[in-house]
Every structure is written in C-alpha cells, then in structure tokens.
C-alpha cells in the first residue's frame, strides 16, 4: 500500500479517488483478516460514505483535508458513533456508542476514511492481544507470533498493508511495543497532547492515543491531525497541534543522545544489537552520545502495576449491566452487577480490577497506591534531570522480538515484564516513539525507542527520521 502522505497528495491532486483507495484497503482486509484476525468490525458503509464525501469535495474544488482519502484503522477502544465498539471485551458486545471520540471527529474533518475497529487486549490490559475476548491477532511478519499488545490489531493493520495508518492507545507501552514487534513506527505522544475524549478509559492518568504508520512522515501527518487542545478533555494541553512535518528533516547534528542503561538492561542480544546500531547511526548523523542512568526506572514496573490497576478498577466499575452492554439477570441489582461482570470480564481484567481495588482499599492505600504516586513524582523529576544532560534518550522498546502464542500467558508477571522499557515514559508523561531498526531472531523486526521531554515531539520525530533513513527508508 502507498504511504498515507502519497495517498493524500494524490487524492487532493485528483490522480486517484478516495473510493479507489478504500477499495484497495478493503481488498487487502478481505484477503487476510480471517487468517490474522486484525479487524473486529469493518465499517464498509461508513467508510464508503466518508470516501464519497472526500471525492465530492475534490470534485467541487474544495480542500478535502490533510488526510484526504487515507484509510485508517481504529483500535476498538475508540468510540465511533453507530459502530460496534467492544474494547476487546464481551461486556460491550454489540454496543454502538451514540457519540464519536474527538480524534475520530478530527480524522473525518481531515478527510480520512475510517475503515473499521481493530482487535486489542481486553480493555487494553495486556501486551500480546491474547486477552481479547475475540481471539488473538497474528503478527503479519510471522503468524505464529504475537503482534504485541494491547494495540495488536492496529499494529497488524498497518504492518500487513491493510491500511497505511491506524490509531492505538498507549498506557504502559501498548502502541510502542506492538510497533516494535510488527516492524512499524508507533508513537506515544506527550500526556495531554491528544484528547482522550471518547477513548474507553483504562488508566486515566497514563492513557494516550497515538499513531501507527509505516514511516515517520506518515506518523507525523496523523499526529498533527489528531493532536491539540480539546475543551472536552480537562487534562488536554492548552496549545494547538504542534508542527511536526516541517521539522522532519531537522537532523540531530549537535544534539545530545542519552543511552539509558535501565532502558536496555535485560534485553535480548538481538535487541541490544539494534540499539547499538541505532546509537552508531545517530552518532554518524552528528549527535553526541552520552551514557546515562536513571535508576528510578527500576521502580517503574511496580509503581505502574499499582497505579494503572487502581485507576482501572474505578474506570471499569461502570460496566454493571444497567445502562448498556451485557446484562446477566438476577434477583436483585447487586447480584445482577456481579453476575454480569463475572461473565463479561476475562481473567486478566478481573486480576487487575482486584489488584487495583486492593491497592486503594482502606488500610492499604498509603503503602501501595499512595507510595506509587510518590514514586511517580520521583520518576518525573528523574527524567527532567536526565534532560539537562541530553536532548533525546535512546533505549530498547521491547526486551525481545515477537514471542510465541501462549509463551507468556502462564504467569502474568512474565507478560508484565514486556513493558519494562516503555512504562517509565507513561509515568513521566513524556513522549516516545518506536522506530523499526534491524531485525533479530528468526528475521523478526526489532524496534528502538526514542524518548524526549514533554512537548518535544518535533525533535523526537526528527531523530526518528534520522534512524529511519539510516535503516534504508527514503
């Protein structure tokens, strides 16, 4: 599939139509979706209408938008009006939201064509898309392997060429890790850069929506469209969308790149090799490399697995069978709540709800959740200090290449470790991007992670672009 940038250019120029692009996308989906289980729902009717609108605008000589005619896949935790939205769970089976997320409104306003909702770990809790109530998604690079998670479906949509762009969400690495495992670009923006209105919440203080793409340029294009202040989200940053495309070729000459020990230690050799190669590439491009240590990162996993489940336990309380979604009847409403939630939630969701409820409960709040919040403050300050000595940080995205199905499901802790390099940035609220760089065992892709201070996406993308070029992408 052509790049999003190219498609938009061609559609605006009239050399191709949005409908034609949609056809290509739908054909690719039809060919592979049964095997890969990428899409939970393909919205042919809606996509058709959106594509027609774009073509009409072009025909009328009006501006159809920056993403004119570009097919986009949406993670199934994004509310889209009238379209089934399940968050990968049985408890929302069949639910059609009466409203759309802000990011989707912005996509439509920019002429993009949403084609459907992609598979994910249930309520975004997972790192392999294996906890989905609708079956796992297979990694397009090797169908015997997981695509990563929780945004596995969105990553696979782009990696398989079904759509040039997709949206995912990242709470502890759920965009970056699948991007790395599938060999594509994935971005977690600065907390508050992209509106969360319409994103089915997992952990409110950590969740961010972000782009998947095959190129840094395409990712920048998508991020420019969806980011910027939203009055419907109190935590959204006050400023408008940043200018990213204009800075893509800024390069890294004179920049300091900090390689963070804690963001590589414990990674497999093939991953370490990629990080080394990336470091060399940045140095070749004129950056100075510094070795850094941010010991606070070691507490990241523990802090995260107290904060995220705590917020989730509260965010998921609303799924009680009263107003929408699944209801399992019972004699009284409390019994009905219980029967509904027991039937509707999978094991990982239950585990995290209980963990979170426990961490917040009387007598344990101070020791667990209260402490974790303080650790988070330390993490934020530690990163701020690190950025006194570096402009951009470099590390691994995931500890290994894509693993096999079932490999990490026996013990939840094993799965949680997949997020060890990505979690710190969610806690700090800073942006990070995973860029494919080299390949590892079995020819599977490896991603390296670039991190920057809050609101530094332009610089981050420029550094990512350098790596991309070094990796052979024009």
Partner 1 sequence: MLPAGWEMVIGLEVHTELKTTTKMFCGCANAFGAEPNTNICPVCLGLPGSLPVLNVRAVDLAMAIGLALHSTIAPSTFHRKNYFYPDMPKDFQISQYDLPINKGGYLDLPDGSRVSIERAHLEEDTGKSTHLGGSGRLQGADHSLVDYNRSGVPLVEIVSGPDMHSAVQARAYAAALRGILIATGASDGRMEEGSMRMDANVSVRRVGEGLGTRCEIKNLNSLRSLQRAIDFEADRQVSLIEGGGVVRQETRHWDELRGETSTMRVKEEAEDYRYFREPDLVDLAPDAAWQARIAASLGAMPAERRAILLARLIEPSAAQLDALDVVVDLGFDELVLGAIDANVDPALALARAANELAASSERVGALAPGSFVETLLMEQAGELSATQAKAVLLEVLEHGESPRAVAAAKGYKQLSPDSLEAIVGELIEAFPEEWTRYQEGDEKLAQFFIGQVMQRTRGQANGKAVVAELRARR
Partner 2 sequence: MAPGLSREDVAKVAALARLTLSDEELDTFTEQLSQVLEHAKDIAALDLEGVIATAHPFGLVNVVREDELCASLDRDEVLAMAPDAEEGRFAVPRIMGEAP
Q: Is 401 in the site for partner 1 (CB under 8 A)?
A: no
Which residues touch 294 (CB under 8 Å, ≥6 apart)? Answer: 260, 261, 262, 263, 382, 383, 386, 424
- Binding track over 83-122 against partner 1, x by CB under 8 A: --x-x----x--x-xxx-x---------------------
Which tokens hold the place of 115?
């084609």
Q: Does 322 bind partner 1 (CB under 8 A)?
A: yes
- Alpha-carbon gap, residue 307 to 393, rounded angstroms: 24
Query: Positive or negative, the Cα torsion across 244, 426, 290, 265?
Result: negative
- Identity of the residue, 69 or 344, whose beta carbon is nearer to partner 1 in the bound complex: 344
Q: 210, 228, 321, 424: which one contacts partner 2 (CB under 8 A)?
A: 321
Residue 85 interface partner, choices partner 1, partner 2, none, CB cut-off 5-8 Å depending on type? partner 1
The three-state secondary structure class of 354 is helix
Whether the CB-CB separation of 276 and 461 falls below 8 Å is answered with no
Decide: is 198 part of the binding site for partner 1 (CB under 8 A): yes
**Between 124 and 278, CB nearer to partner 1:** 124
Per partner kind, with CB cut-offs from 5 to 8 A, the member of partner 2, partner 1, none near residue 196 is partner 1
CA distance linking residue 197 with residue 78, whole number of Å: 9
- Residues with a catalytic annotation lie at 75, 150, 174
Residue 240 near partner 2 by CB under 8 A: no
Find the helix or strand (DSSP H, E) in which 466 lies. Answer: helix 457-470
Among 7, 58, 68, 79, binds partner 1 (CB under 8 A): 79
Site string for partner 1, 144-183 (x = CB under 8 A): ----------------------------------------
Q: Which of residues 42-61 bind partner 1 (CB under 8 A)?
A: none
Kindly state the smallest distance separating residue 427's Cβ from partner 1, in Å: 13
What is residue 125's DSSP assignment?
-
For partner 2, the binding residue among 7, 372, 448, 450 (CB under 8 A) is 372
Q: How far apart are CA 12 and CA 106, in angstroms?
A: 18
Buried b (16+ CB within 10 A) or exposed e, 343-379: ebbbebbeebbebbbbbbeeeeeeebbebbeebbeeb
Interface pattern 176-215 for partner 2 (x via CB under 8 A): --------------xxx-----------------------
Residue in 51, 252, 355, 450 binding partner 2, rule: CB under 8 A:
355
DSSP for 203-272?
A: STTT-EEEEEESSHHHHHHHHHHHBS--TT-TTS-SS-----GGGTT---TT-EEEEEGGGTTT--HHHH
Q: Which position among 330, 409, 458, 470 is part of the footprint of partner 2 (CB under 8 A)?
A: 330
CA dihedral sign, ordered 181, 182, 186, 191: negative
* Residue 120 in tokens: 């994910």
Q: Which does 405 bind (CB under 5 to 8 A by kind): partner 1, partner 2, none?
A: none
60 binds partner 2 (CB under 8 A): no
Residue 292: exposure state from Cβ atoms within 10 A (0-12, 13-18, ≥19) = buried
Which among 54, 48, 39, 43 is positioned nearest to 112, based on CA atoms?
Answer: 54
Distance CA 338, CA 169 (A): 28
| Binding positions for partner 2, 450-469, rule CB under 8 A | 454-455
Close Cβ partners of 323 (under 8 Å, ≥ 6 residues apart):
none
Cis before 298? omega within 30: no
- Does position 441 interact with partner 1 (CB under 8 A)? The reply is no
Q: Which of 103, 307 has the CB closer to partner 2? A: 307
Verify binding: residue 324, partner 2, rule CB under 8 A.
yes
Residue 335 found at the interface with partner 1 (CB under 8 A): no
Stretch that binds partner 2, among 8-16, 71-79, 333-341, 392-400 (CB under 8 A): 333-341
Nearer to partner 1, 361 or 414 (CB): 361
Is residue 318 within the footprint of partner 1 (CB under 8 A)?
A: yes
Residue 306 interacts with, from partner 1, partner 2, none (CB under 5-8 Å by kind): partner 2
Residue closer to partner 1, measured from CB, 197 or 461:
197
346 binds partner 2 (CB under 8 A): no
Does 341 interact with partner 2 (rule: CB under 8 A)?
yes
- Contacts for 191 with CB less than 8 Å, ≥ 6 apart: 205, 206, 208, 235, 426, 429, 430, 454
The site partner of 314 among partner 2, partner 1, none (C-beta below 5 to 8 Å per kind) is partner 1
Q: Compute the least distance from the CB of residue 237 to partner 2, in Å.
A: 7
Map residue 197 onto helix, strand or coil.
coil
- Residues 122/348, Cβ–Cβ less than 8 Å: yes
Stretch that binds partner 1, among 54-62, 111-119, 129-137, 318-326 (CB under 8 A): 318-326
Applying CB under 8 A, the residues found at the interface with partner 1 are 77-79, 85, 87, 92, 95, 97-99, 101, 196-201, 203-205, 231-235, 310-311, 313-314, 317-318, 320, 322-324, 333-334, 337, 357, 360-362, 365, 369
């Amino acid at each position: 599939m052509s790049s999003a940038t190219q498609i938009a250019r061609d559609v605006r120029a009239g050399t191709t139509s949005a409908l034609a692009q949609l056809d290509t996308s739908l054909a690719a989906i039809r060919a592979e979706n049964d095997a890969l289980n990428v899409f939970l729902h393909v919205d042919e009717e809606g996509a058709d209408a959106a594509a027609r609108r774009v073509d009409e605008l072009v025909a009328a000589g009006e501006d159809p938008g920056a993403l004119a005619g570009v097919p986009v896949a949406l993670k199934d935790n994004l509310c889209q009006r009238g379209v089934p939205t399940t968050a990968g769970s049985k408890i929302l089976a069949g639910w059609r939201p009466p409203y759309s997320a802000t990011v989707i409104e912005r996509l439509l306003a920019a002429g993009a064509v949403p084609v459907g909702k992609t598979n994910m770990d249930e309520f975004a809790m997972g790192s392999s898309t294996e906890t989905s109530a609708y079956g796992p998604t297979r990694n397009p690079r090797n169908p015997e392997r997981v695509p990563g998670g929780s945004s596995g479906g969105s990553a696979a949509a782009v990696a398989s060429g079904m759509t040039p762009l997709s949206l995912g969400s990242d709470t502890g690495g759920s965009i970056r890790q699948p991007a790395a495992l599938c060999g594509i670009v994935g971005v977690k923006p600065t907390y508050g850069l992209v509106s969360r209105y319409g994103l089915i919440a997992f952990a409110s203080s950590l969740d961010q929506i972000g782009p998947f793409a095959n190129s840094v340029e395409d990712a920048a294009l998508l991020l420019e469209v969806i980011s910027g202040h939203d009055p419907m989200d109190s935590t959204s940053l006050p400023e408008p969308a940043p200018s990213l495309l204009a800075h893509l070729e800024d390069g890294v000459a004179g920049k300091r790149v900090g390689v963070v020990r804690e963001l590589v230690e414990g990674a497999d050799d093939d991953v370490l090799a990629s990080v080394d190669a990336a470091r060399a590439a940045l140095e070749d491009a004129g950056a100075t490399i510094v070795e850094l240590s941010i010991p606070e990162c070691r507490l990241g996993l523990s802090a995260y697995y107290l904060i995220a489940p705590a917020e989730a336990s509260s965010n998921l309380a609303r799924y009680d069978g009263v107003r929408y979604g699944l209801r399992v009847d019972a004699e009284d409403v409390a019994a009905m709540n219980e029967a509904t939630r027991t039937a509707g939630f999978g094991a990982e969701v239950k585990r995290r709800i209980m963990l979170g409820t426990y961490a917040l409960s009387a007598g344990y709040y101070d020791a667990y959740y209260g402490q974790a919040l303080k650790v988070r403050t330390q993490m934020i300050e530690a990163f701020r200090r690190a950025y006194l000595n570096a402009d951009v940080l470099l590390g691994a995205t995931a500890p290994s290449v894509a693993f096999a199905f079932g490999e990490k499901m026996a013990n939840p802790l094993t799965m949680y470790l997949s997020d060890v390099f990505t979690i710190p940035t969610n806690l700090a609220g800073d942006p990070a991007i995973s860029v494919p760089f080299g390949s590892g065992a079995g020819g599977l892709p490896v991603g390296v992670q670039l991190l920057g201070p809050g609101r530094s996406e332009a610089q981050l993308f420029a550094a990512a672009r350098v790596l991309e070029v070094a990796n052979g992408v024009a």
